[in-house]
């Protein structure tokens, strides 16, 4: 437990520090990058992300899972080497085809500058795929400090390069994506180091069938998430325009604050749960995972609630062209709350391979529903309609993943704590509508302090501390 909390704290602090610096520059970008250019950037990232999912096949996910099946250091090196060789083959063939295909059929439609930006983004993803493999390996090793130091340093370098390229280049789209290529090239130095350290001379590196099969089960899930998270931008672009896409994307950036905390904790949470299942008795492991699960859910509630309440005050300082992003951010923050609920149970589904196909079906159905809802809601409600569609789909996914996880590993949650957590969070959200300005900000701050203290009192009670000192909980009653 101590290692879990320590790693979670390291990941969270580094990610928050990194993202805080990024968000400080958002008001600057809102005055330099037009909503139309920001919409083009968003669409390029959306398309490249989709291509990357298909090409990379999420082999880094297979590394995270099968690392825990390796019994020796030699086995770990073999796994790392095989997957990286196979990834190099897939990436080279796949991205070469996309560059040539996009030039032949789309350069006249999108313009030479946009095509150049697209190619730069493709090279960025090509390099980033290999860093993702290294990062997955280090996270599985629970080397939180190493991962965080790399993230903070590369993130700080990215801020500097982004500022320089965006402010000094006439084409803001190319300048923005070029700054990310610089960082991916820097991280390739780290990749080459670990490629040398972890390299193992394998003869039959094509024997990756088991890993590819696992990744193939992850792929539909990731594609479905892509549809839910980013296809709304394509629908908005088609029905309203790139300027509206830029406003929507800015709102999405603020909702992403919640994901920063969730994903930070999840980096430590996943290897922790994987290591607990099977290493202890089912009852002992269940009690421990239950308690951590409650912290996960409570933390997601607090962060989502805080972002929801403070976003209107923050957007107030932005360029007035982005004013509509405040409401979008508030609605999308609700979807990130459900994302947190989903992730708290998703780790169980990812551990048990037999759950993967059913999980893929649940999320794929929600992705299809998301497309339908986006088309219907965007026509009637505009940008808010796309955000509402995302909330509905994530709520359904969270329920589906929880049901699937409970069938395989039933977590004996403390329903009293869970209901109280949700109830006080709903009450706290009301303060999002306090007046803007100095007085409203003071009210938000005071209400947030009270809310956080209440959440701590609910979820980290004295009885939990006593049970921990005595060596455990009884019958899962205070497990989480």
- Model pLDDT for residues 235-274, shown as the tens digit of each residue: 888 888 878 888 888 888 888 878 877 877 777 777 777 7
Residues 6+ apart with CB under 8 A from 48: 118, 121, 122, 124, 125
Residues 6+ apart with CB under 8 A from 183: 154, 155, 157, 158, 161
How would residue 28 be classed by pLDDT, with cut points 50, 70 and 90?
Answer: low
* Three-state SS at 159: helix
Task: Please report the pLDDT score of residue 407 as a whole number.
Answer: 85
Residues 6+ apart with CB under 8 A from 403: none
- Higher-confidence residue of 141 and 336: namely 336
Is the pTM higher than 0.75? The answer reads no
Tell which residue, 117, 107, 393, 374, has the closest CA to residue 233.
Answer: 374
Q: What residue segments make up the domains of the chain, in order of their start? A: 33-207, 208-480
**In sequence order, what DSSP letters do the residues of 272-329 get, joined into one string?**
HHHHHTTTS-HHHHHHHHHHHHHHHHHHHHHHHHHHHHHHHHHHTTS-GGGTTHHHHH
How would residue 9 be classed by pLDDT, with cut points 50, 70 and 90?
Answer: low
- Higher-confidence residue of 23 and 197: namely 197
How would residue 376 be classed by pLDDT, with cut points 50, 70 and 90?
Answer: very high
In angstroms, rounded to a whole number, what is the distance separating the alpha carbons of residues 475 and 412? 9
Mean pLDDT confidence for 136-163: 81
Poorest-pLDDT segment among 16-25, 310-319, 362-371, 430-439: 16-25
- Higher-confidence residue of 15 and 395: namely 395
Q: What share of the chain is helix, strand, coil (3-state, %, to 5)?
A: 85, 0, 15
375 has pLDDT over 60: yes
17 has pLDDT over 60: no
Mean pLDDT confidence for 368-377: 92
The mean pLDDT of the chain is 82
- Judged on CB neighbours under 10 Å (0-12, 13-18, 19+), 263 is middle
Angle at 230 between CA 40 and CA 46, to 5 degrees: 45
Task: Please report the pLDDT score of residue 140 as a whole number.
Answer: 83
Tell which residue, 335, 280, 256, has the closest CA to residue 472.
Answer: 280
Show the DSSP H helices in 111-208 as ranges. Answer: 112-140, 144-168, 172-198
22 has pLDDT over 70: no
**Is the distance from CB of 184 to CB of 128 less than 8 angstroms?**
yes
- Model pLDDT for residues 396-451, shown as the tens digit of each residue: 999 999 999 888 877 777 888 889 999 999 999 999 998 877 888 899 999 999 99
Tell which residue, 223, 212, 213, 186, has the closest CA to residue 87.
Answer: 212
Task: Please report the pLDDT score of residue 436 as a whole number.
Answer: 79
Task: Please report the pLDDT score of residue 462 as a whole number.
Answer: 39
How would residue 304 be classed by pLDDT, with cut points 50, 70 and 90?
Answer: very high
- Most confident listed range (36-40, 104-108, 135-139, 306-310): 306-310
- Model pLDDT for residues 77-87, shown as the tens digit of each residue: 988 998 999 99
- Model pLDDT for residues 316-353, shown as the tens digit of each residue: 766 676 677 888 999 999 999 999 999 888 888 888 87
Q: Within a 10 A sphere around the Cβ of 329, how many other Cβ atoms?
A: 26
Task: Please report the pLDDT score of residue 25 as a whole number.
Answer: 61
Residues 6+ apart with CB under 8 A from 237: 39, 43, 244, 245
* Three-state SS at 70: coil
Task: Please report the pLDDT score of residue 470 as a whole number.
Answer: 41
Task: Please report the pLDDT score of residue 305 as a whole number.
Answer: 93
In angstroms, rounded to a whole number, what is the distance separating the alpha carbons of residues 326 and 315? 6
């Amino acid at each position: 437990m101590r290692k879990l909390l320590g790693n979670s704290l390291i990941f969270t602090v580094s990610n928050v520090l990194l993202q805080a610096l990024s968000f400080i520059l958002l008001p600057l970008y809102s005055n330099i990058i037009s909503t139309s250019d920001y919409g083009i950037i968003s669409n390029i990232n959306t398309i490249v992300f989709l291509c990357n999912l298909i090409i990379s096949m999420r082999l880094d996910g297979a590394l995270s899972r099968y690392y825990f099946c390796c019994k020796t250091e030699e086995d770990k090196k073999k796994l790392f080497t095989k997957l990286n060789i196979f990834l190099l083959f897939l990436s080279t063939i796949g991205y070469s085809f996309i560059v040539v295909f996009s030039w032949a059929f789309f350069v006249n439609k999108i313009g030479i500058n946009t095509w150049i930006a697209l190619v730069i983004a493709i090279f960025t993803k090509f390099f980033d795929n290999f860093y993702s493999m290294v990062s997955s390996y280090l996270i599985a090793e629970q080397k939180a400090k190493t991962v965080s130091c790399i993230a903070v340093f590369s993130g700080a370098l990215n801020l500097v390069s982004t500022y320089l390229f965006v402010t000094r280049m006439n084409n803001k789209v190319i300048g923005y994506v070029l700054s990310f290529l610089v960082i991916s090239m820097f991280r390739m130095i780290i990749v080459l180091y670990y490629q040398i350290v972890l390299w193992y001379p394998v003869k039959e590196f094509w024997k990756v069938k088991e890993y590819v099969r696992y990744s193939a089960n992850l792929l539909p899930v990731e594609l479905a998430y892509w549809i839910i998270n980013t296809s709304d931008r394509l629908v908005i672009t088609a029905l309203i325009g790139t300027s509206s896409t830029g406003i929507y994307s800015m709102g999405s950036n603020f909702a992403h604050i919640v994901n920063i905390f969730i994903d930070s904790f999840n980096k430590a949470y996943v290897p922790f749960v994987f290591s607990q299942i099977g290493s202890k008795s089912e009852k002992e492991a269940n009690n421990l995972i239950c308690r951590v699960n409650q912290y996960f859910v409570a933390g997601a509630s607090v962060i989502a609630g805080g972002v929801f309440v403070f976003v209107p005050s923050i957007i107030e300082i932005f360029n007035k062209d982005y004013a509509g992003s405040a409401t979008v951010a508030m609605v999308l923050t609700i979807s990130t709350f459900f994302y947190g609920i989903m992730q708290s149970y998703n780790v169980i589904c990812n551990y048990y391979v037999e759950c993967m196909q059913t999980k893929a079906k649940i999320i794929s159905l929600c992705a299809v529903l998301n497309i339908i809802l986006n088309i219907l809601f965007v026509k009637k409600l505009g940008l808010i309609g796309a955000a509402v569609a995302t909330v509905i789909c994530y709520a359904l996914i969270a329920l589906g993943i929880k049901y699937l996880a409970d069938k395989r590993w039933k977590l004996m949650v403390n329903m009293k704590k869970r209901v109280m957590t949700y109830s006080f969070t709903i009450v706290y959200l009301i303060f999002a509508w306090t007046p803007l300005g100095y007085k409203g900000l003071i009210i938000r701050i005071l209400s947030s302090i009270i809310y956080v203290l209440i959440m701590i009192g609910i979820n980290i009670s004295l009885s939990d501390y006593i049970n921990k000192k005595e060596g455990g909980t009884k019958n899962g009653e205070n497990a989480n």
